Each structure stands twice: as structure tokens, then as C-alpha cells.
Homo-oligomer: A and B are copies of this chain.
Amino acid sequence: MFQRVNIGNHFDLKTSVFQAPRRGIYSFSFHVVKVYNRQTIQVNLMQNDYPVISAFAGDQDVTREAASNGVLLMVEREDRVYLKLERGTLMGGWKYSTFSGFLVFPL
């Protein structure tokens, strides 16, 4: 999973979980790339233990395809936000995939 910017260290690199430092509206987006794999994948963006939005990549061709989505979320302090591969497998791991989030404004 591509991760370069981590201001405040609220994204845990080991678990890939973002934990909100404060209450507010956050923008999250992700692009999860499926490589050489005929399976359909479903990726959920999770807030605590609940799925908020889903994205799918189901092309049967042998190629790279992304499951992408994005959302504005009302997040409470210490909420955890992370991606979950709900269906399918990522044969090539999370290479080329990105997950981004930032605070749009505090509440």
C-alpha cells in the first residue's frame, strides 16, 4: 500500500489503520489495484467495524484494474478508518494501491 505522507503519525504503518486525532470531516479515497487475477474483488472502507463504502474490480481480462472510491466522513476522535478486502485476493499484494485521507475541517 502506497503510503508516503503521514503528518501526525495517525496512520499505523503496521496495521494500515488510520486513527483520527480529532473530531471532524475527513476526506478519504482509495484505489486498490488488482493485478493478473480473474477474481472479482470488493474493497470496503471501514469506519470502526462498519463498512461505509465499497468498490469493485471484476474485469475478467488478464490486466490491472482498480477498485476506487472516495467519501467525506464525519469522524469522531479515535475512530479507526481502514480498508478491508471483503472479497477476492490480491495476488500481487497492495502494490500500486493507494489510500489517502485528510482533515477537511474540524468540528
Describe A's contact surface by its main secondary structure: strand
- The digit string for A45-64, where 1 denotes a CB below 8 A from any CB of B, is 00000001111101111011
Using known A-B contacts A68-B31, A102-B72, determine if residue A54 contacts B96 with beta carbons closer than 8 Å. yes
Chain B min CB distance to A60 (Å): 6
Q: Is A65 an interface residue (CB 8 A)?
A: yes
| Residue numbers in B under 8 Å from A66 (CB-CB) | 55-56, 67-69
Using known A-B contacts A56-B63, A96-B54, determine if residue A29 contacts B70 with beta carbons closer than 8 Å. yes
Copies of this protein chain in the complex = 3
Size band of the A side of the interface?
35 or more
A102–B31 touching, CB < 8 Å: no
B60–A61 touching, CB < 8 Å: yes
B74–A5 touching, CB < 8 Å: yes
| Residue numbers in B under 8 Å from A72 (CB-CB) | 4-5, 100-102
Q: Which of B31, B53, B100 contacts A27, CB < 8 Å? A: B100
